[in-house]
């Protein structure tokens, strides 16, 4: 049952019985704030023009009507214009039974919509860094969240494997590499190629210096540096499919992909489709022709094609070079078009940094002007903020880039040290210690990044390692591990765990493992006899039942941070409960059973929520 719907319908009926038909926006219902008694609150101000009474009188009138007519409403109180309604314990018991019995809790029914989400999109000339980590984690998590919202999700990666930057690495390797390979150097492929990209830049700068010393202007020197001219020559050869250049390109890209695969695997992200720009960069030209025909685009004297967007507050934008070759926009128009057609997409999401906001604004506008508004409207640029260091932006030239592989390794090492220090690794095999350190280190990193609203610029200070206490991934993982530990102990002690709502199958007659009462009856009985459902337990049930709403909201807003906040709140709340109430030592078997089940459901939802963030949770830590 959807609780919010239930409440708002009940309130609507009460209000309409008292004041006649209402408009939609006149009913404002929200969760009651912690500091007041009650579960849900009606804000009466919008109703006053109907009731023609004071806020207090209106609230009291509706509250009285509801306690008299709605069995689930136990009591109410009025504070200023706010009507706080308290639901009966058995109501929450029934909700809990529903949650426990729902094997796919948090997973929405299929919507039939197909959504493609493109993320990662690396260049093949250097290894991944912290910025890519944010991109990958966001992309993967949003994909998980959309799947949980019932969509068919296609995870796509568009690899930028061509262009002058690739040639720079290739050329530097050819000139200075002495045949070095990942195998010969023991270096990860992407790092090796990245090394030569840096090497290129070093020589390039030296040559510029030399040329300016000879009297050339800086601009001339940049153009005339021999190494740059050679790189451009190499690009031309590549485009002409020169066998030697092409083969080198394939080899070096192969190294990079091997390296990326390792990083992706470490991050726990994957893709359903990988596109290579070398195969798509010629797309989009037919769309340009179409635009010219429709008079949306125009051709300049030098034969280049443009669109004038000044009427929309933007600028004039180039769509095709004078020599007929594509630019970024041409390609993106083409790939967008092809993807919608090939995959029958309902939505297309690009996880790309906010530095490209303008590009996507233009992309959508151009598609719209071409008459593809139905697609344009279903393109979302999931624009995320940069990750900054205390001294500002990461700059590869200044060596302030935080390398993805290094960071991951550091996090795992820190996790291991911390675990050892706390004595958590005693009695563990080496494999277990590895597995837990990896889980916790990555959990800390991922949560740290995903808990921040995607669109905000975020700060990362490499000098202070990421926290493991407080609002962190390990805190949530730890809560899960503690619950699992309790459940293990219960099983070992042979405590009755065969709870009817612990399982997905309906109770079978003759299945002796199950008690005779149903879950709901069990809870209700307990609630009636006052043995179960302490206020803290009701609070936990309330929070548990909000999980689907959190999943929905995270999906609507493409915001893993909403899941993060939810799971943290749940874990925190459970920790307080755990501290105050013993589960295994509870003597009343019925109460103990419910507490075990409550703990089990909290663990389940934590696991499920963390899965949406791409974070694993350990059985012990």
Residues in 251-270 that interact with RNA by CB under 7 A: none
160 binds RNA (CB under 7 A): yes
Residue pointed to by tokens 């219902």: 29
- Show contacts with RNA in window 289-318 (CB under 7 A): 300, 302, 304, 313-315, 318
Q: Which H, E and C letters describe 70-139, residue by residue?
A: CCCEEEEEEECCEEEEEECHHHHHHHHHHHHHCCCCCCCCCCCCEEEEECCCCECCCCCEHHHHHHHHHH
565 binds RNA (CB under 7 A): yes
440 binds RNA (CB under 7 A): yes
The least distance separating RNA from the CB of residue 354, rounded to whole angstroms, comes to 5
**Residues 97-136, mask of contacts with RNA (x by CB under 7 A):** --------------------------x-------------
CA 7 distance to own-chain centroid: 31
33 binds RNA (CB under 7 A): yes
Q: Which of 133, 578, 601, 612 binds RNA (CB under 7 A)?
A: 578
Q: Which of 216, 223, 575, 611 binds RNA (CB under 7 A)?
A: 575
482 binds RNA (CB under 7 A): yes
Rounded to an integer, what distance in angstroms lies between the CA atom of residue 556 and that of residue 554? 6
Q: Which of 51, 207, 380, 471 binds RNA (CB under 7 A)?
A: 471
What does DSSP say about strands 82-87 and 40-43: parallel, antiparallel, or unpaired? antiparallel
The least distance separating RNA from the CB of residue 503, rounded to whole angstroms, comes to 22
Q: How many CA atoms lie within 13 A of 261 on its CB side?
A: 8
CB 259 within 8 A of CB 189: yes
**Residues 61-90, mask of contacts with RNA (x by CB under 7 A):** ------------------xxxx-x------
Cβ nearer to RNA, comparing 152 with 465: 465
Of 60-68, 141-149, 450-458, 513-521, the window that binds RNA (rule: CB under 7 A) is 450-458
- Show contacts with RNA in window 487-526 (CB under 7 A): 489
Q: Which of 341, 511, 576, 589 binds RNA (CB under 7 A)?
A: 576
Of 160-168, 172-180, 248-256, 528-536, the window that binds RNA (rule: CB under 7 A) is 160-168
Q: Which of 16, 36, 224, 504 binds RNA (CB under 7 A)?
A: 36
Backbone torsions φ then ψ of 296, nearest 5 degrees: -80, -35
Kindly give, in sequence order, each residue whose CB lies less than 8 Å from that of residue 338, ignoring residues fewer than 6 positions away: 280, 283
Burial degree of 102 (CB within 10 A; 0-12, 13-18, 19+): middle
341 binds RNA (CB under 7 A): no
Cβ nearer to RNA, comparing 110 with 390: 390
Q: Which of 528, 489, 154 lies closest to 349, judged by CA? A: 154
Classify 19 as helix, strand or coil. helix
CB 597 within 8 A of CB 415: no
Look at the chain and count its residues.
621
Q: Which of 90, 135, 144, 419 binds RNA (CB under 7 A)?
A: 419
209 binds RNA (CB under 7 A): no
């Amino acid at each position: 049952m959807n609780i919010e719907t239930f409440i708002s319908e009940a309130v609507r009926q009460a209000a309409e019985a008292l004041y006649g038909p209402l408009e939609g926006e006149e009913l404002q219902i929200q969760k009651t704030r912690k500091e007041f008694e009650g579960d849900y609150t009606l804000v009466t101000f919008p109703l006053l023009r109907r009731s023609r009474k004071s806020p207090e009188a209106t609230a009291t009138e509706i509250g009285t009507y509801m306690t008299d007519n709605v069995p689930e409403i136990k009591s109410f109180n009025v504070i200023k214009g706010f009507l706080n309604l308290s639901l009966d314990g058995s109501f929450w018991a029934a909700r809990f039974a529903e949650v426990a019995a729902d094997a796919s809790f948090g997973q929405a029914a299929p919507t039939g919509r197909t959504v493609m989400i493109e993320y990662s999109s690396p260049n093949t000339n250097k290894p991944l860094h912290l910025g890519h980590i944010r991109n990958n984690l966001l992309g993967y998590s949003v994909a998980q969240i959309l799947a949980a919202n019932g969509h068919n999700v296609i995870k796509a990666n568009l690899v930028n494997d061509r262009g002058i930057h690739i040639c720079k690495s290739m050329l530097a390797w050819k000139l200075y590499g002495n045949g070095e390979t990942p195998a010969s150097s023991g270096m990860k492929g992407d790092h090796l190629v990245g090394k030569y990209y840096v090497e290129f830049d070093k020589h390039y700068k030296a040559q510029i210096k030399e040329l300016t010393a000879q009297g050339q202007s800086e601009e001339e020197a940049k153009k005339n540096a021999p190494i740059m001219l050679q790189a451009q020559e190499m690009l031309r050869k590549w485009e002409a499919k020169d066998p030697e250049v092409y083969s080198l390109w394939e080899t070096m890209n192969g190294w990079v992909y091997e390296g990326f695969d390792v990083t992706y695997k470490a991050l726990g992200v994957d893709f359903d489709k990988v596109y290579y720009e070398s195969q798509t960069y010629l797309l989009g030209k037919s769309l340009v022709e179409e635009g010219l025909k429709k008079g949306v685009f125009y051709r300049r004297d030098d034969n280049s094609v443009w669109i004038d967007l000044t009427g929309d507050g933007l600028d004039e934008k180039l769509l095709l070079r004078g020599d007929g070759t594509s630019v970024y926009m041409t390609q993106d128009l083409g790939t967008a078009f092809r993807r919608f057609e090939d995959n029958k997409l309902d939505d297309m999401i690009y996880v790309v940094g906010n530095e490209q906001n303008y590009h996507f604004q233009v992309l959508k506008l151009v598609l719209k002007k071409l008459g593809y508004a139905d697609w344009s409207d279903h393109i979302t640029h999931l624009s995320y903020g940069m990750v900054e260091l205390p001294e500002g932006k990461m700059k590869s030239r200044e060596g302030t880039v935080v390398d993805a592989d290094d960071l991951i390794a550091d996090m795992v090492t820190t996790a291991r040290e911390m675990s050892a220090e706390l004595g958590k690794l005693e009695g563990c095999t080496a494999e277990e210690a590895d597995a837990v350190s990896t889980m916790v280190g990555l959990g800390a990193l991922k949560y740290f990044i995903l808990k921040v609203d995607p669109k905000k610029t975020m700060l990362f200070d490499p000098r202070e390692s990421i926290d493991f206490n407080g609002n962190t991934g390990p805190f949530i993982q730890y809560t899960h591990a503690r619950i699992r530990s309790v459940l293990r102990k219960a099983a070992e002690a042979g405590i009755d765990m065969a709870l009817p709502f612990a399982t997905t199958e309906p109770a079978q007659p003759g299945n002796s493992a199950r008690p005779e009462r149903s879950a709901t009856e069990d809870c209700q009985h307990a609630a009636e006899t006052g043995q179960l459902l302490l206020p803290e337990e009701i609070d936990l049930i309330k929070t548990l039942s909000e999980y689907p709403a959190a999943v929905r909201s995270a999906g609507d807003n493409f915001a893993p941070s909403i899941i993060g906040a939810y799971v943290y709140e749940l874990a925190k709340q459970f920790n307080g409960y755990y501290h105050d109430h013993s589960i295994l030592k509870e003597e009343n078997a019925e109460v103990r059973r419910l507490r075990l089940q409550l703990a089990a459901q909290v663990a389940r939802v934590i696991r499920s929520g963390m899965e949406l963030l791409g974070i694993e949770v350990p059985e012990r830590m």
